[in-house]
Structure 1
Amino acid sequence: MTKKKKLSKGQTRRVRDNHSARLKREVADTIDDSQLGPQQDGLVISRFGQHADIEDSEQHIHRCNLRRTLGSLVTGDKVAWRPGIASAQGISGVVEAVHPRSTVLTRPDFYDGVKPVAANIDQIVLVSSVLPELSCHVIDRYLVAAEDVDMPPMIVLNKVDLLSSSERQQAEQLLQRYVAIGYQVLYVSCDTGEGLIELKQALKDRTSIFVGQSGVGKSSLVNAVMPEVAALTGAVSDNSGLGQHTTTTARLYHFPSGGSLIDSPGIREFSLWHLAPERVAWCFREFRDYLGGCRFRDCKHGTDPGCLLQQASTEGHIHEDRLASYHRIMAAMADKPTRHHPNSL
């Protein structure tokens, strides 16, 4: 008897996707037009596979199916939907269309290219922490991602109560490079309450999204600025130092005083392999005045003669660690095996 050939990872994934698409078609047809009320506008609070939680004009939440013709749908999308006359198996409506987005936060997917994460965001709150570690290179990667999608970022250093006086001084010195080029930096502690008033004020009347590595305390910050949410929190793994993923899907919350917040799943690495080298350089905002002025058009901004970035770094106009971080990103991008490799940058 011939042994059945084992499917490759790609084949297995395509089978799974085809099955998911078939389920989507079946689910979308569980409520027909005769069971639906008039169309109205709504807001996507969260997306769960082939369903989405939609908020109506009175801030009531409805679990809805998605039309087969619908494109991508993410938290923060403004949509046209129709409520069901009667709830069927917990589904109380159907999303029929997505309104144009003012902004969209994307992240590259190793198999499907660039995918949206959340929409109609006013600012990105980049949460870092003294645990697992304070890494300016990780901050730089997130800042590049934020600049690429043209969303103003704000840096929040969490868990500052764990720092000694000398460590606090060192952290502030490290982060001063970002203040110097116009980024807002807040120092916050959920335990002592330091910086929470300033953070709440920065979030007021805006739609913000928290991003950052696992374990930096994003969900704890959500709890601190919005106690009624009672978002899940988790401990940092004692073995790896990496945080546990305590938020499984992006979800939007409203502030009673105005504004909204999207709590997103933990992202240990924000990949940048989809960006062109010129775009990466442009996303370092302090580089922009010098780009295009180097002696050679294809300047790599390393040891090339006549490099304006190197000259600006030597003269103190560009922080040497920021330039080193740029080169570290570029080196990792050059070493990536393929766009689809799971270990790509």
Structure 2
Amino acid sequence: MARREYDESDAKVRPNRRGSRPRTKIRPAHEEAVDGTVIAVDRGRFTVQVDDAVVTAVKARELGRRGLVIGDWVKVVGDVSGAPDTLARVVKRLERRNSLSRTADDTDATERVIVANADQLAIVTALADPEPNPRMIDRCLVAAFDAGMDAVLVLTKADLASAEGLRAAYEPLGVTVIETSVRRDGGPEADPGFVRFREELHGITTVLVGYSGVGKSTLVNALVPDAGRAVGIVNDVTGRGRHTSTSAIRYEVPSGGWIVDTPGVRSFGLAHVDPAHFILAFPDIADAADELCPRGCTHESAELGCELDAWAGDVADRHARVDSIRRLLASRAAGDQY
């Protein structure tokens, strides 16, 4: 039997489908896109407030690796009716006015943006159960002021311990200090501290940050009755609360303003903040250092030429704040976390 001869007609060439369409750098204009604000983020899905509608959206491919966080102003296309089982696309993130960030610790190079375009940071601290941690408060203040945000210190469980020491330490810095005793089963309207805190929220966006178990979720549920945030208890052995809020979310307060409830944190790293900015979070100390300390002073100690101890004199709260600055600088250098 004669062997068959093959030619090019026997070869079957499959079209290269992947590269068949010419690539272009021209991106769609999305002229029909509408404005929205990200109010929640959950595993690649974004909840966006568009006028009176709450829309579920995904991030468009053209955004690339640009991350989205709560508070981001965005452009959205697709079905923005907010009807069940509908999905829109976020096609653009507008420029941020500011952003609040933290790192896992002071040696972590990864900056984690918590929220964008916020006006105020509410540092929620319990006066007892768990005990207050001034070092955490100081770190949050530095992060807030570095982001260009105002700060308010909310002291919860005021019926369990005195707030006198914390007031003396932070009110001279211009930080608003509010005491509240709102409980899960209590009437918030009867608590003057809660009423004052609610007034501080009017017309602005406020981010709530604090340890687990300090009462953030209780405050949120009192401010926004239909929020339904889970509340937990503090472990009697460790003195720490269990994480009850697992994701951040923004709520509109019926009396005016917006709040962002964040999961409880165990540390607040400041690797993203220039150490030279630490002292700027304490205006009175910054003025004293500028006037009294020698050029290039690292503010580590009086033995190394720092004049802040002499400035503090016999005033206890001044010494406390100078010590706090030095702890921040030392912990940043050592990579500690609080």
SS at 1:162's partner residue?
coil
- Cα distance, 1:68 vs structure 2: 2.5
Separation in structure 2 between the aligned mates of residue 333 and residue 86 of structure 1, nearest angstrom: 48
SS at 2:255's partner residue?
coil
For 2:212, the equivalent position in structure 1 comes to 214
Select which of 88, 97, 101 maps to 1:106.
Answer: 101
- State the AA in 2 paired with 1:322: R
More divergent stretch after superposition (76-85 vs 263-272): 76-85
For 2:55, the equivalent position in structure 1 comes to 62
List alignment gaps of at least 5 residues for structure 1: 1-32, 337-342
Separation in structure 1 between the aligned mates of residue 200 and residue 290 of structure 2, nearest angstrom: 35
Superposed CA RMSD:
2.6
- State the AA in 1 paired with 2:173: I
For 1:138, the equivalent position in structure 2 comes to 136
- State the AA in 2 paired with 1:179: E
Separation in structure 1 between the aligned mates of residue 298 and residue 97 of structure 2, nearest angstrom: 35
For 1:278, the equivalent position in structure 2 comes to 276
Distance 1:332 1:305, change over 3 A: closer
User: Residue 202 in 1 paired to residue 200 in 2?
Assistant: yes
User: Residue 181 in 1 paired to residue 173 in 2?
Assistant: yes
Q: List per-residue Cα deviations over 1:131-168 (Å, max 9, x = no partner).
A: 210222221121111111111000000011223xxxx2
Contact 1:53 1:61 in 2 (8 A): yes
- Cα distance, 1:74 vs structure 2: 0.5
SS at 1:113's partner residue?
coil
Q: List per-residue Cα deviations over 1:158-185 (Å, max 9, x = no partner).
A: 011223xxxx2xx223322211221110
More divergent stretch after superposition (109-118 vs 67-76): 109-118
Select which of 153, 156, 162 maps to 2:151.
Answer: 153
Q: List per-residue Cα deviations over 1:304-336 (Å, max 9, x = no partner).
A: 465332221125396111111121222222222
- Cα distance, 1:91 vs structure 2: 5.0
- State the AA in 2 paired with 1:309: L
Q: List per-residue Cα deviations over 1:252-302 (Å, max 9, x = no partner).
A: 101223211111111121112333332212222222212344135234341
For 1:223, the equivalent position in structure 2 comes to 221
For 1:11, the equivalent position in structure 2 comes to none
TM-score normalised over the length of structure 1: 0.79
Separation in structure 2 between the aligned mates of residue 289 and residue 317 of structure 1, nearest angstrom: 18
Separation in structure 1 between the aligned mates of residue 135 and residue 290 of structure 2, nearest angstrom: 24
SS at 2:270's partner residue?
coil
- State the AA in 1 paired with 2:123: L
User: Residue 72 in 1 paired to residue 62 in 2?
Assistant: no
Separation in structure 1 between the aligned mates of residue 83 and residue 152 of structure 2, nearest angstrom: 43
Contact 1:295 1:305 in 2 (8 A): no
Matches within 5 A, 1:12-51: 38-51=32-45
Distance 1:317 1:63, change over 3 A: same
- State the AA in 2 paired with 1:313: A
For 1:126, the equivalent position in structure 2 comes to 123
Distance 1:314 1:87, change over 3 A: closer
Separation in structure 2 between the aligned mates of residue 57 and residue 87 of structure 1, nearest angstrom: 10
Contact 1:37 1:82 in 2 (8 A): no
Separation in structure 1 between the aligned mates of residue 69 and residue 137 of structure 2, nearest angstrom: 24
User: Residue 327 in 1 paired to residue 308 in 2?
Assistant: no
User: Residue 307 in 1 paired to residue 289 in 2?
Assistant: no
Contact 2:169 2:320 in 1 (8 A): no
Separation in structure 1 between the aligned mates of residue 220 and residue 202 of structure 2, nearest angstrom: 13
Distance 1:87 1:42, change over 3 A: closer
SS at 2:226's partner residue?
helix
Contact 1:301 1:310 in 2 (8 A): no
- Cα distance, 1:344 vs structure 2: 5.4
For 1:115, the equivalent position in structure 2 comes to 112
SS at 1:155's partner residue?
strand
Count residues in correspondence: 298
Matches within 5 A, 1:279-298: 279-293=277-291, 294-298=293-297
Distance 1:50 1:174, change over 3 A: closer
Distance 1:81 1:68, change over 3 A: same
Separation in structure 1 between the aligned mates of residue 82 and residue 260 of structure 2, nearest angstrom: 27
TM-score normalised over the length of structure 2: 0.80
Distance 1:330 1:97, change over 3 A: same
- Cα distance, 1:112 vs structure 2: 5.6
SS at 1:69's partner residue?
helix
Separation in structure 2 between the aligned mates of residue 217 and residue 200 of structure 1, nearest angstrom: 15
Bigger RCO (CA 8 Å, 6+ sep): 2
SS at 2:296's partner residue?
coil
Contact 1:65 1:91 in 2 (8 A): no
For 1:29, the equivalent position in structure 2 comes to none
